[in-house]
C-alpha cells in the first residue's frame, strides 16, 4: 500500500473511486498533493446501503469480538505510524511533535475504547420479576470530522460506534481527507465488509448524511455554525446527535504562580497545533500583579519557537490549515490593527508561500473586541488583565461557548473554587489538554451537545432498552 498515492474511498470493504476529484493542498507549500475522490449522491447511497447490510451481523457479534477488532485498528495505525505522521503533516500542516501526539492518541484510543463495554443495569430482581435495562446499538451512524485533528477525531467516533455494535460511515473534512482515507483502506479485509465506510467529498456529503433516513445518528465535530445546521436537519427524522463544537476557552492565571514555568505551559496551552484547537486557551486572564512579568516571559518563550513547514526538522508550529481560515485570521488581525491594539509579538503576515501566521500576542485589548469575543482558531492570543476574582469569573463566563477552561495557581484548593464557577465541560487546574478515552468530554452552552469518550460517550452510540419480565403469567 502506497500511503502517498492512490486515495480511494472504502465502501463495502472495497476501494472506490469517483468520476470527480478535488485536490488536497499542503498548506505549507500551497501545492496539490493528491487527487481526492468526490462522492456523488449515488456513491453516498452505496456507502449507507453497505453499512445497513453489514449492521445486523456486526450487531450480533459478542462485545469481546467487536472489541478485539477495534483494538486491532490501533495495531494497524501503529504499524503504519511513520507514514501516517508524514501524511498528516503534509495534509494538515502540523509539525512532528503534534503529529506524534495525534497518531499516538489514535492508537491509544482504539485500544482503550476497545476495553469498554456497557453492562446491563438491573433495577429490580425478585423471584417473580426482573427489570433490566440493556444497551442496544443504533444501526448506521455517521461521523463528520473537521480539519484540525483529522485522524484522531475520526477514531473518537469510529471506535465507540463499532464497539457498541453500529456500522459507520465516516466523512472527513474536504481539507484533510487523506489520513482518514488511508485508515479506511487499512481496515479492508480486517473488519467485516461494510462495517466501516469512508467517503470523501464536499460539505454536501455531510448534508446528505444529516438528511438520510437510514443514518440513525450523527456524531459531528466542527464549528458551532455547522452544528446548528446539523441539529436542524437531524430533526427531520429525530436522529441522535453528538455535537462537539467551537470554544473560546478562558485561562485564569492567579498571582501566586511561578511566572517562568507557567509561561511555558500557557504558551503551549494557547498555541499547540498553531492554535487550531477547539480547547486552546483563547483568552488569557492574568492577575494584574504578575501581568507584565508573565507577558514578558510569554513573549520571550514564544521567540524560541519556530514556525515553518512541519516536514522540516526543527519546526515547532506549522501553518494554518487552509486558505479560508488564513483569510479569517488576516481579517481578525486587520480589525485589531484598525482598533489600535498593541501587539507584544507578531501581528504581521509576511508575503510568501504557505498559510503562515506568526505567533501573535495582543496586549490587554478591550473585552468586547473581536480578538476577545471570537474564536480565532489561529495563533492570535489576547492577554487580559484582572484584579478581582468575581469580575474575572464573570468575564470568563461571558461567552456563548462553554467548551473548556483552565485555572493556574499554587493554591489548588482556591483554584478549585474558581473552577466550580466556570461554565464549561472541562476545567483543568495547573495542567491542560490531558484527554483520556475514559474521561467524559463535551461542551456546555453552544459548544456542543452530548459527550465523547468514557462510558457516557459509548452510551451515546446506543439506545436504552428496558425489559420487564414477570415470571408469573396472567392466569384466571
The catalytic residue positions are 244, 278
What is the x/- site pattern for ligand NAD, positions 254-293, by CB under 6 A? ------------------------x---------------
21 touching ligand NAD, by CB under 6 A: no
460 touching ligand NAD, by CB under 6 A: no
* Dist CA 448 CA 220 (whole Å): 10
Cα 394–248–323 angle (5° rounding)?
155
Stretch that binds ligand NAD, among 67-75, 126-134, 200-208, 338-346 (CB under 6 A): 200-208
* Dist CA 60 CA 28 (whole Å): 46
Question: According to CB under 6 A, which one of 67, 212, 221, 446 is a site residue for ligand NAD?
Answer: 221
Those residues whose C-beta lies under 8 Å from the C-beta of residue 160, and which sit 6 or more positions away, are: 113, 116, 452, 457, 458, 460, 461
Cα 446–272–442 angle (5° rounding)?
30
* Dist CA 247 CA 401 (whole Å): 5
Neighbouring C-alpha atoms within 13 Å toward the C-beta of 324: 4
Question: How many chain residues touch ligand NAD (CB under 6 A)?
Answer: 28
403 touching ligand NAD, by CB under 6 A: yes
Those residues whose C-beta lies under 8 Å from the C-beta of residue 3, and which sit 6 or more positions away, are: 80, 83, 84, 86, 87, 182
* Dist CA 362 CA 322 (whole Å): 23
Question: According to CB under 6 A, which one of 137, 160, 165, 174 is a site residue for ligand NAD?
Answer: 174
Give the C-alpha distances (Å, rounded to integers) separating 460 from 68, 133, 285, 351, 440.
21, 15, 35, 47, 12
Q: Which is nearer to ligand NAD, 113 or 286 (CB)?
A: 113
375 touching ligand NAD, by CB under 6 A: yes
146 touching ligand NAD, by CB under 6 A: yes
Q: Quote the DSSP letter at residue 274.
A: G
Q: Which is nearer to ligand NAD, 67 or 447 (CB)?
A: 447
Stretch that binds ligand NAD, among 16-24, 140-148, 334-342, 347-355 (CB under 6 A): 140-148
Question: According to CB under 6 A, which one of 10, 26, 89, 173 is a site residue for ligand NAD?
Answer: 173
242 touching ligand NAD, by CB under 6 A: no
Q: Which is nearer to ligand NAD, 148 or 462 (CB)?
A: 148
Helix/strand/coil percent split, the chain, to 5: 40, 25, 35
Beta-sheet pairing, 9-11 with 14-16 = antiparallel
DSSP string, 90-159: HHH---HHHHHHHHHHHHHHHHHHTT---PPEEEEE-SSEEEEEEEEE-SEEEEE--SSSHHHHHHHHHH
Q: Which is nearer to ligand NAD, 230 or 407 (CB)?
A: 230
Instruction: Report the nearest approach of ligand NAD to the CB of residue 316 (Å).
Output: 20
* Dist CA 6 CA 90 (whole Å): 15
142 touching ligand NAD, by CB under 6 A: no
Stretch that binds ligand NAD, among 98-106, 223-231, 293-301, 389-397 (CB under 6 A): 223-231
Question: According to CB under 6 A, which one of 118, 144, 372, 419 is a site residue for ligand NAD?
Answer: 144
What is the x/- site pattern for ligand NAD, positions 409-448, by CB under 6 A? ----------------------------------x----x
Q: Which is nearer to ligand NAD, 219 or 409 (CB)?
A: 219
Stretch that binds ligand NAD, among 28-36, 39-47, 125-133, 245-253 (CB under 6 A): 245-253
* Dist CA 28 CA 340 (whole Å): 30
402 touching ligand NAD, by CB under 6 A: no
Instruction: Report the nearest approach of ligand NAD to the CB of residue 5 (Å).
Output: 23
Following CA atoms 420, 424, 426, 431 in sequence, which dihedral angle do they give, to the nearest 10 degrees?
-70
Q: How many CB atoms lie within 10 A of CB 288?
A: 12
Instruction: Report the nearest approach of ligand NAD to the CB of residue 244 (Å).
Output: 3
Instruction: Report the nearest approach of ligand NAD to the CB of residue 12 (Å).
Output: 22
Applying CB under 6 A, the residues found at the interface with ligand NAD are 144-148, 171, 173-174, 203, 206-207, 210, 221-223, 226, 229-230, 244-247, 278, 375, 377, 403, 443, 448
Amino acid at each position: 500500500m502506497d500511503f502517498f498515492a492512490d486515495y480511494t474511498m472504502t465502501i463495502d470493504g472495497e476501494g472506490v473511486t469517483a468520476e470527480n476529484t478535488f485536490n488536497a493542498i499542503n498548506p505549507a507549500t500551497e501545492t496539490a498533493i493528491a487527487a481526492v475522490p468526490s462522492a456523488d449522491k449515488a456513491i453516498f447511497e452505496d456507502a449507507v446501503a453497505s453499512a445497513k447490510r453489514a449492521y445486523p451481523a456486526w450487531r450480533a457479534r459478542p462485545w469481546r469480538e467487536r472489541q478485539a477488532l477495534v483494538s486491532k485498528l490501533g495495531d494497524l495505525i501503529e504499524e503504519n505510524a511513520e507514514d501516517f505522521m508524514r501524511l498528516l503533516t503534509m495534509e494538515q500542516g502540523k509539525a512532528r511533535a503534534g503529529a506524534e501526539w495525534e497518531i499516538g492518541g489514535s492508537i491509544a484510543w482504539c485500544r482503550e475504547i476497545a476495553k469498554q463495554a456497557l453492562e446491563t443495569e438491573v433495577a429490580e430482581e425478585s423471584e417473580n420479576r426482573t427489570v433490566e435495562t440493556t444497551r442496544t446499538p443504533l444501526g448506521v451512524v455517521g461521523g463528520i470530522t473537521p480539519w484540525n485533528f483529522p485522524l484522531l477525531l475520526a477514531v473518537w467516533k469510529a471506535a465507540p460506534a463499532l464497539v457498541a455494535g453500529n456500522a459507520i460511515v465516516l466523512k472527513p473534512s474536504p481539507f484533510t481527507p487523506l489520513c482518514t482515507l488511508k485508515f479506511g483502506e487499512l481496515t479492508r479485509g480486517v473488519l467485516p465488509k461494510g462495517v466501516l465506510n469512508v467517503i470523501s467529498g464536499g460539505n454536501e456529503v455531510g448534508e446528505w448524511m444529516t438528511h438520510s433516513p437510514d443514518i440513525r445518528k450523527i456524531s459531528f465535530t466542527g464549528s458551532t455554525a455547522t452544528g446548528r445546521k446539523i441539529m436542524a436537519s437531524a430533526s427531520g427524522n429525530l436522529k441522535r446527535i453528538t455535537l462537539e463544537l467551537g470554544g473560546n476557552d478562558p485561562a485564569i492565571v492567579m498571582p501566586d504562580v511561578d511566572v517562568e514555568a507557567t509561561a511555558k505551559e500557557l504558551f503551549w496551552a494557547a498555541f499547540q497545533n498553531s492554535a487550531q484547537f477547539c480547547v486552546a486557551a483563547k483568552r488569557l486572564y492574568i492577575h494584574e500583579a504578575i501581568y507584565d512579568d508573565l507577558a514578558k516571559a510569554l513573549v520571550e518563550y514564544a521567540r524560541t519557537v519556530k514556525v515553518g513547514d512541519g516536514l522540516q526538522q526543527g519546526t515547532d508550529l506549522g501553518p494554518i490549515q487552509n486558505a479560508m481560515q488564513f483569510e479569517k485570521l488576516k481579517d481578525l488581525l486587520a480589525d485589531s490593527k484598525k482598533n489600535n491594539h498593541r501587539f507584544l509579538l507578531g501581528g504581521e503576515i509576511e508575503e510568501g508561500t504557505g498559510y503562515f501566521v506568526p505567533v501573535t500576542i495582543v496586549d490587554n485589548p478591550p473585552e468586547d473586541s473581536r480578538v476577545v469575543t471570537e474564536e480565532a482558531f489561529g495563533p492570535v492570543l489576547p492577554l487580559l488583565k484582572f484584579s478581582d476574582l468575581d469580575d474575572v469569573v464573570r468575564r470568563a463566563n461571558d461567552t456563548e461557548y462553554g467548551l473548556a477552561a483552565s485555572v493556574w495557581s499554587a493554591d489548588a484548593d482556591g483554584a478549585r473554587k474558581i473552577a466550580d464557577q466556570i461554565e464549561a465541560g472541562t476545567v483543568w487546574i495547573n495542567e491542560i489538554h490531558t484527554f483520556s478515552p475514559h474521561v467524559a468530554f463535551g461542551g456546555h452552552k453552544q459548544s456542543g451537545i452530548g459527550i465523547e469518550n468514557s462510558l457516557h460517550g459509548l452510551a451515546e452510540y446506543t439506545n436504552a432498552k428496558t425489559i420487564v419480565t414477570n415470571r408469573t403469567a396472567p392466569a384466571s
